[in-house]
Structure 1
């Protein structure tokens, strides 16, 4: 019996399950099949609960292409919903989760009548050095640095690490067709040694930003928690917004980011449970063969 949970944060959905006793390895092929929306359960990623000596819980975060991510703001909030439904945590009781990108403190702030959770995550500290996102050349802080793409287009980048790598490009407007052409060229640009998550952003208010996200290993994404943090941090750093309590609006909805004076980040936003299920014997055998 392999039970799983599925939830989403602003349309960005993840499968969550217990790693211990799974019966098969989470190889890239296994993860791809589970995340496949036609032949598997279907999701934007997978969260595997693992033991931790450094926190209350541990999690490994997988992209739908089978690669692993260091940290995910939406994934962590969905993981909180998974833990709550399993009876492992309670509302208004902070707990810690160890991720490959560092340990975070989390709290479920409340729940609406229709079951939507409001979850807060202390995402760690924004680092603006190029080396921390794997950008080639001398270690430096990028400030609208030009980056030539394979197509010949030039974008002006701001690098931010939230424990995972981000590249924020400020725009005057969000032309989605142009963004879809440029984003994968940035994400896989040879100057980024590990690939990079990409955000195009337009500051629209002293405390508000509109953003569009392309995630490394996943592609175009309706919303992303770590991306919202990167956008907010870069906008405050560059003086694009005047407030440190920033609302980042993405196609899937809005997330709220507090950029503290020491550049530590607190993310807050909704999570919805979708379903719980059990893999069939046939699906388990297929996964065991791949794993």
Structure 2
């Protein structure tokens, strides 16, 4: 089976985008799982954090389904949504579209540049829910900065669904080993978290600035996770560390995004703004039965986009170092 792909990323959270909107592929559900496990394999030909199936919708401009490297399907993916949004906006020659996801129809809007020569796309992250019972076995109706003794004797956690499940904790300094250990433990504890969970550590960097590192369910440690950065921004607002309706700069291993947490009545809405960068495009011959693939064409690289994003990353590193020494 020959499949055209675009390798893309949001904050270096990288994906393989497959167009079912304008191409005539016919994938079964088992095909999607095989494609995800084959193409996301970091020891394989491509390697990625997920597959973005960009599909027709009965009522929106497009539909997005995102599959993790282990073949599981995510409820939502903020970084991936920006990439899908960019692709569909360019195909339809529009600056704003609506994308159907598994939980909601979400807007994607082109919003100038997040850094020099790096176009920005803003997506809505919703529905936002603070009910821990949506993904955690607990009698609590709210879990904000409270301990979970089976995960840590020292840390406190905030449970947020956006709509992916997230546990967020504030730390003075982020240590990958600790985060990875807690993330693995949380996803193995099916008595507490039957469907798993994303776990993030937040390190405050000053006024409206944070650094976020995430152990992503179905992936492991990632450069960035869009819904995790959104949930982390909301958590800092709930804890009165950052302000409602003001831009929050969220730095990560892959760069940075800008989040704005708004309240509409009793409901929270989060806007996530960041890059949607193309790396290359190519055509693959995929053997789904044997889970192998080979390239049928030379890769076409987006060198200017790569160079522009490298400058954004360098700027992000400088900002993180500056904040750390203040």
TM-score (norm 2): 0.80
Q: Deviations over 1:120-169 (max 9, x none)?
A: 1011242111123x11122511022211236x645311011111111101
Q: In structure 1, what is the equivalent of residue 243 of structure 2? A: 242
| Consecutive unaligned residues in structure 2, runs of 5 or more | 293-326
Aligned-pair Cα RMSD in Å? 2.3
Question: What corresponds to 1:33 in structure 2?
Answer: 38
1:277 counterpart residue number: 282
Paired residue secondary structure (1:184): helix
| 1:17 and 2:18 aligned | yes
Asked whether 1:170 is paired with 2:147, we answer no
Contact 1:236–1:242 (CA under 8 A) maintained in structure 2: yes
1:120 aligns with 2:122: yes
Q: 1 CA distance for matches of 2:274 and 2:181?
A: 29
Q: Please tell me whether the aligned partners of residues 180 and 220 of structure 2 are also in contact (alpha carbons under 8 angstroms).
A: no
TM value normalised by structure 1: 0.88
Partner of 1:79: 84
The structure 2 residue matched to 1:88, chosen from 85, 89, 92, is 92
CA distance in 1, matches of 2:261, 2:210: 14
Q: Which runs of 5+ in 1 are unaligned?
A: none
| Higher mean displacement: 106-115 or 188-197 | 106-115
- Would the aligned equivalents of 1:5 and 1:82 in 2 still touch at CA under 8 Å? no
Partners of 2:224 and 2:254 within 8 A in 1 = yes
SS in 2 for 1:43: coil
Partner of 2:222: 221
Corresponding residue of 1:54: 59
Alignment correspondent of 1:130 = 132
Alpha-carbon distance in structure 1 between the residues aligned to 2:53 and 2:243:
38
Residue 110 (structure 1) aligns with: 112
Distance 2:203 2:189 in 1: 23
Residues of 2 paired with 1:246 and 1:260: CA distance?
Answer: 12
Assess if the C-alpha contact under 8 Å between 1:24 and 1:288 holds in 2.
no
